[in-house]
Every structure is written in C-alpha cells, then in structure tokens.
Chain A
Amino acid sequence: MIVYLKGVAATGPGFPNWDRLSGHFSSGTRLDPDFMPGPKGDILPGVEKRRASITVKLAVDVAQGALQQSGMKAEDLAIVFASSNGDTHTIHHICDALATPERIVSPMRFHNSVHNAPVGYWSIASGSMQPSSSLCALSNTFAAGLVEAATQCLAEEVPVLLAVFDTPFPDPLYQLTPGHLPFGVAMVLDADPSGSLAAMTMAIDNDALLLPTQMDDPALESLRRDSSASRSLPLLAALAAPAARQVVLEYADDLRLRVSVNRRPS
C-alpha cells in the first residue's frame, strides 16, 4: 500500500508543533523540556471552546494543523480519529457521579463520554459530512489508525485526515493506567502523489522477531513508550529525515507494520 502525505502536525511534551519537532530531528535544535501541550481548540465555536476538554482540543488542534498544511478543504476529507482511552476526564467524572447516591449525570457530559466525541466535534466545527470513525487498539492504536486511514484512502480513493491523541487519566484511574502525557499527531493521507511531502509504503508482516523501531535519544524513547499516540515518534522522525527510511511499528501482538518513508523534493 502506498499513500502520500499531504500534511502533518504533532504536539507533545517538549514541542508545541511539528516545526519544532522536525527541526529537532533534522537539525538537532533542542526540544523544550518544560513544554507541555496546552491545546486551544481554536476551530471550535466560542461556547464549545470554553467547555471542551483537553482531549477534544488536542484532537481538533492537530487535525486542523495537518489540514492547513495540506491546503485541502475539511469537507473533502474522510476522518479517522484514534485514541486509546478517549476523553479520560469525562469518563472519570461520569463514574464519579454514578458512585454518588443521586447518580446525576449531566446530559452534556454523557454525550461527551462517547469515544467519537472528539471526531463529532471536529465534523461539526469543520462542517465535514464525510465518513468519520473513532477507533482504538491499546498501545497499537496509532498503527491501527494509520492502517485504517490508508485502507480507506486507497479503497475509496478519498483523502483521509488521521488524528491520534492521548491524554492522562485523573486519579484513581491514573494509578491503573499511568502515563499518557498529552500527545497528538495528525496526518493528511492521499492516493494522489501530486504536491505531497512524502510517500509512505506500508506492509504488514507476521513476524514477531521484527523489532519495533526505537528512538536513539533515551528521553524520546521514554516518551515513545508513554502512550499510543507517542508510538508515532519513529515515523515522525523518519518524515523529518532527509534520506529514505523504514520504520517498524507494533500492530496486534506478532504483527508488524512496516512503513517506508520517501520524502519528496520540496
């Protein structure tokens, strides 16, 4: 499977945007050790923007970043959002409310608790009536989302906006599901190579001995292991590298997703 990258965006601990991260990978500029994403949710209408959770804002911010870079229109892109735990704070608040004698769940909190709330907000804010999905696969959520986006792009010949994002749980669920520092990554994939940033050739191997690509930098390797969204770091590093590179991502136990990245001359 070959898909073409038309836009990319990322934010996570240490970098506010893709420029900062790609600069780090391509020319060694330092990441900011104190930076933690504070997504703004600028695409959301005023009321929604004030009420939206960090999970929703993170998702729509990276989606908007990748969309802008692609120069495409939101209403033309199918949408695949993926997150291992969804809106972590909303899930906590609902379970907390249901543990009280009154069990009062606010209607808005309830509709925000669905895993596809972030993609719902994106389609409403961007006005896109294209298909939208919301999926997860534990720590392999990024790989699963990338495969779903690529198969949809190729099978239906439609450009696809992929966004993968994770946010931490509050206590007490955090004790059972630690990590998941806010990390968001988004890509616009297209079957048409014209004007693309890179070609990504993907294949799935049933080969447990094929080792997943790790980060050379111990701090980034630690971040890579922190969440499902941050498992995208080796691919992001390859997208910033001048030479062609292959990365291996874990996907469902013994399966491996191999992605060969060839940057296009800009």
Chain B
Amino acid sequence: MRPIAISHYSVVNALGRGTMSTLEALRSSHSGLSPCDFMDAEIDTYIGRVDGLEEEQVVARLKEFDCRNNRLAMLGLAADGFESAVASARARYGAHRIGVIIGTSTSGILETELAYRQRDASGRLPPHFNYRTTHENYSVTDFVRRYLRLQGCAFTISTACSSSAKVFASASRMIESGLCDAVVVGGVDSLCMTTLYGFSSLEIVATTPCRPADAERSGISIGEAAGFALLERAETCDNAPCLLGYGESSDAYHMSSPHPEGAGARLAMLRALQRSGVDPAQIDYINLHGTATRANDRAEDIAVSSLFGSETPCSSTKGWTGHTLGAAGITETAIVCLCLREGLLPASLNTVTVDPCFRMHVLLENRNQPVRRAMSNSFGFGGNNVSLILGYPAA
C-alpha cells in the first residue's frame, strides 16, 4: 500500500497529558499504575487512572456531551497542539474532506451505570441523563467531530481492544478511495464499572501491576486513555512517521479466549507485512498487545516467534499505561511513533523473569538504538486482531 503519514498525534493516559509525559515516563521507567481508587469500585487491583478528569468539563458549546469519556477525549484533543494541527488541515482541505473515525469499547457507559443506580421508584432514569450524547457508541466520534468543527465521513469502530488500531485500516481505505483527504483517527476509553467488574468476573485482573510476558504474570491492569492521530497522504508531509501497512484478521475461535496457537494474531501480522512489503527482518521493534494474561501472552509469543524467530526486540508497554482497551491501539501507535523519533526501544516494564516457554525476544531494559520500522499489535474479544507497521518510508 502507499504509506499514509501520521502528521500529528497526541496522547493522554495515566502517565500524564501529552506525548512528553509519556516519553519521560518511558525513559525513566516510571509506571502510571496505582492501587485502584476509582469511585466506589471494590476490586483489589492496580489501575491506570488519568488524574483530574473529575474536575474537567467539556467546552460549554458541547456541554450536553459532558461525561468522563468525552472529557478524556477533549484532553487528548487539547494535548500536543493536536487541535491547531487539525485547524490548519481544515483550512487546507476543507472541513467536509476530513473524516473522523474513533475507536471505543465502552464509550460513556459509566453515565448509564450511574443513572441505573439513580432510577426512581417506578424504574425511570434520572432526567439529567442523556444516553445519546454520553454512552451511545457514536457519542465520542460525534463529540470529536463537533469539537474540531469537521464535516467529513464519520463513524465509530467498536471491536473491543482492537478498536483504535482498526481505525488506521479504515482511514487508510477512506483516503485511498478518495472519500477523504485526511482523517482524524483516535481511541478513547475511560474507567467504568463494566470493565472493572467484567474483567474481574473473567478472573483475568491482576492484584499487582501487570507483568506482561513474565513467568509469574497473573492478568491485566485496566487503564484509561485518549489518543488521536491526523492521517494524510504521505507525499504531503515530510519527515512524518507513516503507516506502512496494516493487517486484520479474526480468530474464529472463542469470544474471550485467544486462539491457543495465535493463528489469528499470526495472520494479522503476516498481512501487515505483505501489505507493507516489509520483511520480518526489517522490523526493528514489536510493541506487543501483551496484556499479561496467561493465555494472551502465550498465544502472542507463538505467533510472533513463528514469524520473527527470537531476534526481533519485543515489549509490551501496558506496564506503564495499563490496558487501555479501546484506546490501546492508538496509545501504542503513538508510543511506537515516539520510539521511531527518539531511537528508543522500551522495556517490558514490571517484567522480571520472562516466561521460560517463550521464544520471542522480550526486552527487560530500555535500549537506545535507531528504529526504522516497528510493528504494533492489538487483539480484542471476539477474536479481533490488528497489526500495524509504522516507520519512515525512505528509511
């Protein structure tokens, strides 16, 4: 495929607001995870909570969209000069030529959870609750589009933890088919009771900070995050990191367990390699999905090592941010863009002893070395797999 430039990007997560906070935390091996103190959730775990969301408000002109998820989205749009980068693209292309595709798994479901607690004697929801502008899965896309004053094609992708990786594939096709000149892609997922209690019921929430690929790993740490990227044709942007290829697949195996041999994950990575025309040996770093559950990491190891052997450096950065679910794809794509720019290979934070059964090369220390091309994996419930290849096309 023709490379698509990631001309601007932004992140907000437990490490702070903006890419600088994330980069500094990566360099100093400082995790954003802390003991769960989210509202009245009584779960013995660590979470990656974004500080200060409770005090934020969305802009007055969009106040009907106010909810934790859209507040987080707004912080992401305000970070890293993203909003002004989009304004300049809008002046260049026209508002109706810029699409918006946002990934989320639970959108603003927290509002519905709280509204259900406040039902009156006849079971009615409280009058302040607005389902469409908060919880409805399109709410976050609608909010982003209005906030940025864009008028192009728009939809939400909701494929659980691969949501905001899939947005890159869809946006790439939109640009390729001429329906858009640029696309704002992103992912936003915020803490809620559904995911905290839901993942607990599946018994895959760790009581310690998550330890991806570790022999002693015991599950995920749930995080929240927002991230955005402005995608344009590569020939219009010099020196920007590019999406070189994407691969998508389905496990066709189980709703919440990965294929035991990682067949779907392998297929997604293979398709990304084929679409980008890049050989496995040309990939300098793999940002793993690496959730730190027993089954996910094992399946990903089999899939990765079958294609890349034991040489290619790999790590999961979920020890820093937590598993930000529908925002994981954009969060880790942004991290990979930082690694490309800085020549940084991040370690798998919190990983002490790599599972002795694993063949892939898991980094236990940060490394500084040139990174020309890297892969980012995102896999979700329903067996939904996406692999992205990022890099500089001329390199």
Distance in angstroms from A127 CB to nearest chain B CB is 5
- From B67-75, B174-182, B209-217, B353-361, the one touching the partner chain is B174-182
Give, as a whole number of angstroms, the nearest-CB distance from A84 to chain B: 7
Q: How far apart are the CA atoms of A151 and B202 in the complex, in Å?
A: 37
A124 at the A/B interface (Cβ < 8 Å)? yes
CB < 8 Å neighbour of A151 from B156, B166, B174, B249: B174
B302 to chain A, nearest CB (A): 16
Q: Smallest CB–CB gap between A175 and chain B, Å?
A: 7
B132 at the interface (CB under 8 A from A): yes
The reply on A253 being an interface residue by CB < 8 A is yes
State whether the Cβ of B168 lies closer than 8 Å to any Cβ in chain A. Answer: no
Question: With A98-B113, A131-B250 in contact, is A124–B383 under 8 Å at CB?
Answer: yes
The answer to whether B253 and A124 have CB atoms under 8 Å apart is yes
Q: Are B199 and A110 in contact (CB under 8 A)?
A: yes
**Which residues of chain A come closer than 8 Å to B174, judged between CB atoms?**
151
Per-position contact with B for A125-159: 1 when CB-CB < 8 Å, else 0? 01111111111111011001101100110111000
**Cβ contact within 8 Å between A98 and B116:** yes
CB-defined contacts of A148 to chain B, threshold 8 Å: 155, 170, 173
Tell me the bound Cα distance from A96 to B169 in angstroms. Answer: 35
Instruction: Determine, out of A115-123, A180-188, A213-221, the stretch whose residues face the partner at the interface.
Output: A115-123
Q: Which one, B153, B156, B169, B197, contacts A103 given CB within 8 A?
A: B197
- A114: chain B residues at CB < 8 Å are 105, 158-160, 380-382
- Contact residues of B between 126 and 155, Cβ < 8 Å to A: 129-132, 136-138, 141-142, 145, 151-155
Instruction: Find out whether the CB atom of B382 lies under 8 angstroms from the CB atom of A117.
Output: yes
Q: Is there an interface contact between B250 and A123, defined as CB atoms closer than 8 Å?
A: yes
Task: Let me know if A172 and B382 touch, CB within 8 A.
Answer: no
Q: How many residues does chain B have at the interface if contact means C-beta atoms less than 8 Å apart?
A: 66
State which of B113, B155, B203 has its C-beta within 8 Å of the C-beta of A135: B155
Contact of B153 among A86, A111, A141, A252 (CB under 8 A): A252
Report the bound CA distance from A86 to B157 in whole Å: 12
Residues B176-232 near A (CB distance < 8 A): 176-177, 179, 193-194, 197-199, 201-203
Contacts of B123 in A (CB 8 A): 171-172
Indicate whether A121 sits within 8 Å of B157 (C-beta atoms), given known contacts A111-B202, A136-B137. no
Assess whether B153 is in contact with A124, with CB atoms less than 8 Å apart.
Answer: no
Q: Is A211 an interface residue (CB 8 A)?
A: no
Given known pairs A136-B138, A175-B125, the reply for A99 and B117 (CB within 8 Å) is yes
Residue pair B263, A129 in contact (C-beta under 8 Å) = yes
Q: Are A173 and B131 in contact (CB under 8 A)?
A: yes
Question: What per-residue 1/0 map shows which CB atoms of A91-114 lie under 8 Å from chain B?
Answer: 100111011000111111011111
A222 interface hit (Cβ, 8 Å): no
Question: Are the C-beta atoms of B153 and A132 separated by less than 8 Å?
Answer: no
Taking CB as reference atom, which chain B residue is nearest A144? B155
Closest to A140 in B: B155
Task: Check A18 for interface membership: any CB of B closer than 8 A.
Answer: no
Asked if residues A123 and B383 are in contact (CB atoms below 8 Å), the reply is yes
Chain A contacts for B255, CB-based, 8 A: 108, 111-112, 117, 120-121, 124
B248 interface contact, C-beta 8 A: yes
| CB-CB under 8 A for A106 and B201, given A95-B112, A138-B132 | yes
How far does the alpha carbon of A172 sit from the alpha carbon of B132 in the complex, in Å?
A: 14
A5 at the interface (CB under 8 A from B): no
Give bound CA distance, A144 to B155, whole Å.
Answer: 7
Closest CB-CB distance, B172 to chain A, in whole Å?
8
Least Cβ distance of B128 to chain A in Å? 12
**B interface SS class:** mixed
Q: Are A172 and B250 in contact (CB under 8 A)?
A: no
A177 within 8 A of B: yes
Give Cα A155–Cα B4 distance, bound, in whole angstroms: 14
Contact B250 A107 (CB under 8 A): no
Question: Quick check: A151 and B177 within 8 Å, CB to CB?
Answer: yes
**A176 CB–B CB distance under 8 Å:** yes
Interface hits, B316-363 → A, CB 8 Å: none
Task: Take A120-B255, A171-B123, A173-B112 as given contacts and tell me if A115 and B159 are in contact as well, using a CB distance cutoff of 8 Å.
Answer: yes
C-alpha spacing A34/B174, complex, angstroms: 41
How many angstroms from the CA of A118 to the CA of B160 in the assembled complex? 12
Measured in the bound complex, the distance between the Cα atoms of B250 and A128 in whole Å is: 7
Judging by beta carbons under 8 Å apart, are B267 and A113 in contact? Answer: no
- B96 and A255 form a contact (CB under 8 A): yes
Contacts of A133 in B (CB 8 A): 157, 159, 166, 170, 248
Determine the distance from Cα of A237 to Cα of B201 in the docked complex, in whole angstroms: 46
A130 adjacent to B152 (CB under 8 Å): no
Assess whether B264 is interfacial by the CB under 8 Å rule: yes
Minimum C-beta distance from A55 to chain B (A): 14
Q: Are B252 and A123 in contact (CB under 8 A)?
A: yes
Task: Please tell me if the beta carbons of A135 and B157 are within 8 angstroms of each other in the complex.
Answer: yes
The 10 nearest A-B residue pairs measured at CB: A120-B382, A131-B248, A110-B198, A115-B158, A144-B155, A123-B250, A111-B256, A99-B116, A137-B155, A206-B96
Q: CB within 8 Å of A: which residues of B?
A: 96, 105, 109, 112-113, 115-117, 119, 123-125, 129-132, 136-138, 141-142, 145, 151-160, 166, 169-170, 172-174, 176-177, 179, 193-194, 197-199, 201-203, 248-256, 263-264, 267, 380-384
Chain A contact residues, CB within 8 Å of chain B: 1, 79, 84-86, 91, 94-96, 98-99, 103-108, 110-117, 119-121, 123-124, 126-138, 140-141, 144-145, 147-148, 151-152, 154-156, 171-173, 175-177, 204, 206, 251-255
Return 7 A-B CB contacts under 8 Å, by A number: A85-B136, A95-B113, A103-B197, A115-B158, A116-B159, A135-B155, A172-B119
Known: A116-B382, A132-B384. 8 other contacts (CB 8 A): A112-B255, A113-B198, A124-B252, A131-B249, A134-B158, A134-B382, A136-B137, A206-B151
